[in-house]
Amino acid sequence: MAGERAAIRYAKAVLSLATDKNTAEVVNADMELINNTVEQSKDLKDMLYSPVISSTVKKAALLEIFKGINPATVNLIDTLITNKRTSLLAEVASKFITLYEQQKGSQIAIVTTAVPLTETLESKVLAKVKELTGKETAIKNIVDESILGGFILRVGDTQYDASISNQLNKLKREFTIN
């Protein structure tokens, strides 16, 4: 929880700086790249969390991996390394993307499903979310086989859980109470 609050603070600071310098869109592209790269690379994630690897090695590796990023993004990496918070890099990137979308007047809907969404299903979800919120929305699909079926939709602070595992848990609670 403390890490999440810190990530939000870092993300807000970078967004404020990027907005002041009119580079928010470029920094957002950097953050998407960082978020996706860290999410897809177990080795990179392990390096960021490792207390054994020195700060200078982490910095050199990150700057090599993310060549050509905006100076505001480089400053973020420097700050996280100085404060020994490199483990927050992906979370800061994720929070930045969310804050940037909110600033633009759009939002990200996170849809967790047991199988990847098809294009037709994705367009139906987008239409429904726009109808409910009145805002432009982008979808991020997370595949989690443990929900068995159905979906979990999270838009901002609102979550709708229509997963099979949730329904089974509700039934289980009903039978154990009665």
Residues 4-14, mean pLDDT to the nearest whole number: 91
What are the φ/ψ torsions at residue 67 (nearest 5 degrees)? -65, 145
pLDDT-derived band of residue 178, with 50, 70 and 90 as boundaries? low
- Separation between Cα atoms, residue 173 and residue 11, nearest integer Å: 39
By C-alpha distance, which of 108, 109, 96 is closest to 19?
96
The model carries a pTM of 0.67
pLDDT tens for 47-90 read 999 989 999 999 999 999 999 899 999 999 999 999 999 999 99
User: In the chain, which segments carry CATH 1.10.520.20?
Assistant: 2-102
Please give the CATH architecture assigned to the domain spanning 2-102. Answer: Orthogonal Bundle (1.10)
Query: Which is it for the CA torsion 77, 51, 39, 156, positive or negative?
Result: negative
- Separation between Cα atoms, residue 160 and residue 93, nearest integer Å: 25
pLDDT tens for 88-141 read 999 999 899 888 988 887 778 888 888 898 889 888 888 888 887 777 788 888
pLDDT tens for 83-99 read 999 999 999 998 998 88
